[in-house]
Structure 1
Amino acid sequence: MTARDPADESARPHPGRADSVARLARQLGFLHDEGKAPEAFASTARTEHGHDERPLGRARKVSVSMPEELTVAVQRRVGRGEFSQYVTEAVTRQLELDLLGDLAALLAEEHGAVPEEFLAEAGAAWPDVE
């Protein structure tokens, strides 16, 4: 797919797709912008270990099944009292990655793939990033 000419009326973004891109961008912003985030996504101060002092807003107890080895490893790493916060932060990061993937797919559909020369330029600028 090639990039579209913005002057071409037929190349105007589909309103539904533009709304989807805007919605995904807002959701990503909620994960990072404490001042604009709804209470459920608002971040809190970090402890000396880099974990939030309390959950990202009101908490609701849920039941999650995980392999025993994984739960033991997390408990050893953070202690029993920090388990929920550790999982909350991991889920937040995964949600961010999912939303970024959705946004990238929408942008690729709308504007086409990133040209190889731009990818090569970015690779040269940040050679240590995969």
Structure 2
Amino acid sequence: MNAVPHEPAGGLPGRDADFAERLAWLLSQYRELDSRTAGPEGAPDLDSARNVRSLGRARKVSVSMPEDLTSAVQHRVGRGAFSQYVTDAVAKQLELDLVAELAELLEAEHGPVPEEYLAEAGAAWPDAE
């Protein structure tokens, strides 16, 4: 899923595209999502992060999902929270897509992260995968 709201579908532009402009746009999208989850003084507000997707107007859409998946979600959260659960999942995927696009842009501009930096990060967080 590379499409992002307010931008044509298709993912990253080619290397000839204006890198700084694209990077600024990606960062603004990520900051907009991130700012909705911040509490006082910029600290993460876990309660609002859980309900961040309920801010703003909602629009009813039709989505086809496998029956087993639908049943599993309804069983886990109940019928009244189904939309919120799916909305949170879609918003989280959008955040991951934006971070992946940012990483692709940075790698295209600056090359891959040197192995020594990856090893240093791995040593600092040995439990991370």
**Code of the aligned partner of 2:87:** T
**Per-residue deviation at 1:55?**
1.2
Report matched runs for 1:61-76 at 5 Å. 61-76=60-75
- In the other structure, the counterpart of 1:46 is 47
**Per-residue deviation at 1:35?**
8.8
Report matched runs for 1:14-33 at 5 Å. 16-33=18-35
1:65 is paired with a residue whose SS is coil
**Code of the aligned partner of 1:20:** R
TM-score, reference length from structure 2: 0.75
Number of residues of Structure 1 aligned to a counterpart in Structure 2: 108
Supply the RMSD in Å over aligned alpha carbons.
2.5
**Code of the aligned partner of 1:22:** A
**1:118 and 1:86 mapped to 2: Cα distance?**
37
**Per-residue deviation at 1:51?**
3.7
Q: 1:65 to 1:15 in 2, by over 3 A?
A: closer
- In the other structure, the counterpart of 1:92 is 91
Identity, % of aligned positions: 60
Q: Is 1:81 the equivalent of 2:83?
A: no
Contact 1:45–1:53 under 8 Å retained in 2: no
Kindly provide the CA deviation profile for residues 96-118 of structure 1, in whole angstroms up to 9, marking residues without a partner as x.
11111111000000011000000
- In the other structure, the counterpart of 1:120 is 119
Contact 1:46–1:52 under 8 Å retained in 2: yes
**Code of the aligned partner of 2:81:** E
**Per-residue deviation at 1:57?**
1.4
**Per-residue deviation at 1:95?**
0.4
Runs of 4+ in 1 over 3 A off after TM superposition: none
Contact 2:26–2:98 under 8 Å retained in 1: yes
TM-score, reference length from structure 1: 0.75
**2:110 and 2:22 mapped to 1: Cα distance?**
14
Kindly provide the CA deviation profile for residues 53-94 of structure 1, in whole angstroms up to 9, marking residues without a partner as x.
871311000000000000000001000000000000000010
Q: Gaps spanning 5+ residues in structure 2: where?
A: 1-15, 39-44
